[in-house]
A and B are shown apart, each in its own frame.
Chain A
């Protein structure tokens, strides 16, 4: 156990969670304290991860069931930072609904712990364990506003469907174990008989489970309901953080043990990708609730990220990671706007409530405008570059059909983003919203908007960071 320091971030996080639990039990009215400590913990875990593991090429731990490489370090840091931002901007929202409790930061921390384990997993069992840790925390988070019917319903729905998909996933794991005699990715890769196609069953079951977690069509049904029902701050968490971990597992699972079976799973991924892009774009058109709309738009965006994975090349993986990174930044901005739509202790989440926003709040609506155009993938904003990298890697493999369908669905998707802009800019104004937002909320909106707007000046930086990811 010489390399224990490499999993120190996880250990630190786990111990902190236990400490916070005890602190919360023994100290009364400690929700604010715990919130602050959790923030510090998240940041320091990110710093530790950066210090301990960022320079490492590839190291296996614990009988190669854990892998520490650049991909895992990068994704962990992104996860931690995203969780930090979610936590820091959600406090006002929680206070309004009187659910500012000690459990909230602790649950977020636990789910982050689960995700970190998932990201580092190199073994089906470890992966499943991480997945369950995060899922259990997410079930509770979804129904965190338990006095509200919708929130409880969201939690229950998420639990039932997630449990189902976990079952499928476990079944897939057992099939793979049966065919190869191991749960370890590397051993599976060695034991794999490329002529034995029956292992495809196992792959398919696991893919189904994973698609459920990242809400790819046709396993997306839970997402709109859960996104709508959960408290907005939790929805923000849902749309950003679990996707990072699930995408990492997607990459590892497909590219480490089953790279040679690419002709088996490539078609599945192309299908998932096309279905998600098209469905996300078309279904979002009719929505009136912003959170539901975001759910469909996130389904669409997952489709683009999967298109990168479907290429079977390192470029494709990198473009997916770039995509998800930029997507997270855009989503952060989008939700910051959503959390600013507050008047008299009430939050508004219908698209109509944005009506005429540009007259009352010109800067807020300008930010939202940029974010929406970026989500639609219009240059010169960051969202365009994200899509550009994806299609660059897709076309490198001469997958013209995927590229053309993807780009056409951006046109359809542009329609519903434009609809929001239309309501903001072209319609009659309503009452003003409150402007006494917390400093962090303003910061996160400014931060994400500026990143989106200024990305085109230094697009090379992000690529440079991500080009170290090397899976194949």
Chain B
């Protein structure tokens, strides 16, 4: 079967966006543009599910590989997936349609252009997860800045300009060093093809600097402490759909990059820098959890909790244990779903009350019960209650960490407790308590589309909480192979 399924996945949203460019959205409800966008993203979603069905779980080889000459003798357009990347692709194609449905209430202005930006963004994100050439990867990785900058800047809140600039410049600054590293790899190894680089390996004496260059980019994108400061700003100011994309998928690019490139290409350096990652991860987990405790803005709180969760992810990745790595990927998927759901929950009340401050709510459980139930579920998932997907990831990561470094694991476990504290406290202050603000009485419960979106997110969160095997089976072989190759490389150096 030679149908270029990955390229179709990458191209389809862009083609949809191209159609949107010429769709007039004169009618009041912008029905046409929304359906075109929704249709495109749904087709993409089903295509990616089809991809998952075709996907062979028993091998760690790259599958569905397409290899075309792009610039003669310099870059090949090479895409392919293995167990690690496929889940991220499905996450992307799953979240995007939900984002598009969610714009019903939040985006009033220039809807067509917004959907174009979202679809183009989807293209780039899928591209990141399936590119097997460093230059192609960089291209997609960086190109995502353009639509996200516009999403934050045009449709964002009051401090949108500042946040958009901060987001753009922070990530660009991190990435340029990665470009230097990629070109250097080209001159050192004569290729930027990831599979060839896996076989050739990179000389150990270059690895440290190259690793640091990649790290600078991924650390900003993850984001790791202390370069996480762009994230709360970006999250707070971005429109709901933008926050969802940012939290659910954009942050995962870096985690994916750590696994695919930092571990895969520079094992020796990864071993050397593991303490650094541990330190930063633990600081992120503890420190940002405390910061989250004292936030007054709901979105900001969730943003800081994202930083803490991503701290778990980086910690899990660098344990180089089967459990740790699997846990990291599960945690990323789970965080993608949970953070998306939480931001949507905030969006729901924000659309009604136009306030994100925790103080302005309280006691809404009797007014909007459906919302409160779902919000409860997501809160519990975020703090890692057994039975939700959040638990599996965190548990596996901590298991891996205990194997590798006892002290780090203990401190990280403390982070789980603080995590529970800030999430539950948030929930208590928003949903329970006395109904002081009388404006809240006018709030209406979830409408159909909101209910649909949130249930769509709730189902996989619960499902993967009880049956994580579905995900683990997909990634298991790729991970164990990655660890095997990694250990071989460490031994031989």
Contact = CB atoms under 8 A, between A and B. Distances in A.
A395 B161 contact: no
B119 interface: no
A426 B146 contact: no
A64 to B, nearest CB: 34
B138 A407 contact: no
B165 to A, nearest CB: 6
- Pick from B110, B160, B179 the residue with the most CB of A within 10 Å: B179
B269 interface: no
Interface stretch (A51-59, A135-143, A211-219, A373-381): A373-381
B354 to A, nearest CB: 20
B145 interface: yes
Contacts of B164: 418, 422, 426
Interface string B124-144: 000000000001001110110
Contacts of A392: 74, 183, 186
B186 A463 contact: no
A262 interface: no
Nearest to B75: A459
Contacts of A426: 153-154, 160-161, 164
Contacts of A421: 149, 153
A400 B183 contact: no
Interface stretch (B33-41, B168-176, B238-246, B290-298): B168-176
Contacts of B149: 418, 421
Contact of B146 (A359, A378, A395, A408): A378
B78 to A, nearest CB: 15
B416 interface: no
Given A392-B183, A425-B150, A460-B72, A407 B176 contact: yes
Contact of A391 (B160, B173, B183): B183
Contacts of B177: 404, 407
Nearest to A393: B183
Contact of A380 (B143, B153, B172): B143
A379 B74 CA distance: 17
A179 interface: no
A274 to B, nearest CB: 15
A323 B202 CA distance: 30
Interface string A391-422: 11001100010011001101100110010011
B160 A395 contact: no
Given A395-B183, A426-B154, A373 B146 contact: yes
Interface in B360-408: none
Interface in B160-204: 160-161, 164-165, 168-169, 172-173, 176-177, 179-180, 183-184, 186-187
B169 A415 contact: yes
A380 B139 contact: yes
A464 interface: yes
B145 A395 contact: no
B180 A391 contact: yes
Contact of B145 (A378, A415, A425): A378
Contacts of B146: 373, 378
Interface in B18-38: none
Nearest to B179: A407
Contact of A395 (B71, B165, B176, B184): B184
A411 B169 contact: yes
Interface in A351-409: 358-359, 362, 373, 378-380, 384, 388, 391-392, 395-396, 400, 403-404, 407-408
B425 interface: no
A459 B150 CA distance: 26
Contact of A379 (B69, B139, B173, B180): B139
Interface string A244-279: 000000000000000000000000000000000000
Interface string B64-84: 000001111010000000000
A396 B168 contact: no
A422 B165 contact: yes
A248 to B, nearest CB: 24
A472 to B, nearest CB: 19
Contact of A422 (B110, B113, B161, B176): B161
B180 A395 contact: yes
B304 to A, nearest CB: 26
Interface string A288-324: 0000000000000000000000000000000000000
A54 B186 CA distance: 32
Contact of B173 (A408, A460, A463): A408
A295 B181 CA distance: 31
A362 B74 CA distance: 37
Contacts of B161: 422, 426
Contact of A415 (B135, B160, B165): B165
A272 to B, nearest CB: 21
A403 B209 CA distance: 15
A396 B180 CA distance: 11
Contacts of A358: 154
Given A425-B150, A460-B72, A378 B142 contact: yes
B11 to A, nearest CB: 11
Nearest to B181: A395
Interface string B43-71: 00000000000000000000000000111
Contacts of B176: 407-408, 410-411
B153 A425 contact: yes
A456 B127 CA distance: 14
A304 to B, nearest CB: 13
B183 A378 contact: no
A204 to B, nearest CB: 30
A403 B165 contact: no
A121 to B, nearest CB: 33
Given A378-B145, A391-B180, A395-B187, A463 B71 contact: yes
Nearest to B112: A362
A411 B173 contact: yes
B179 A391 contact: yes
Contact of B180 (A359, A403, A460): A403
A221 to B, nearest CB: 28
Contacts of B187: 395-396
Contacts of B160: 426
A414 B180 contact: no
Interface in A427-469: 456, 459-460, 463-464
28 contacts: A359-B110, A378-B145, A378-B172, A379-B138, A379-B139, A379-B140, A379-B142, A379-B143, A384-B139, A388-B179, A392-B183, A392-B186, A395-B183, A396-B187, A400-B180, A400-B184, A403-B180, A414-B168, A414-B172, A415-B165, A422-B153, A425-B154, A426-B154, A426-B164, A456-B139, A459-B70, A460-B72, A463-B71
Given A388-B183, A418-B168, A426-B160, 7 more contacts: A391-B179, A395-B184, A403-B180, A418-B149, A418-B164, A421-B153, A463-B72
Interface of B: 69-72, 74, 110, 113, 135, 138-140, 142-143, 145-146, 149-150, 153-154, 160-161, 164-165, 168-169, 172-173, 176-177, 179-180, 183-184, 186-187
